[in-house]
Amino acid sequence: MPLIQRTFWAEDRITDVLRWSIEHHGDEGMSRYSALILQAEDDLAADPGQAGVRILESGVLIYPLRHSARRAPTNPKVRNPPHSLLARILPDGSLLVLAIIGKGALPEKNARIAERDARKRPGFASER
């Protein structure tokens, strides 16, 4: 499995999503959504060319979490997750998660913001 890294921007956005989840769905809902995000990262890292992945002109991948919902190790499953991961494959083959975005968000704009933030705050918020 390739290394998976998150930018600080991605980590901040994921924390926001999970905070919202805990406020509206409790600890159990947050736990399920967290597991789904991790599963989506794993799935995208394992096969960035799989069906459902879109590629922006900049090379940024868009992966809707719904494509990993069946494989998430939780029961009950998260139904109709509204978020997508924005990520990039690095030259060493690792996956760099740039952001998580909701429905209606502009992927190109969010990718630019995430990459600009990555230049301002170099390094990674997390690696696994």
Mean pLDDT to the nearest integer, 62-80: 93
Q: Give the pLDDT of residue 122.
A: 86
Mean pLDDT to the nearest integer, 29-48: 97
Question: Residue 114 sits in a domain of what CATH number?
Answer: 3.30.2310.20
**What are the beta bridge partners of residue 99?**
86
Structure-token pair, residue 36: 């789904």
Q: Give the pLDDT of residue 4.
A: 97
Q: Give the pLDDT of residue 66.
A: 97
Please give the tally of structural domains in the chain. 1
Give how far Cα 35 sits from Cα of 21, 72, 75, 76, 117, Å: 12, 6, 11, 12, 26
Predicted TM-score (pTM) of this structure: 0.93
User: Does the structure show a pLDDT above 90 at 1?
Assistant: no
Supply the range of the domain harboring residue 28.
4-127
Q: Give the pLDDT of residue 125.
A: 83
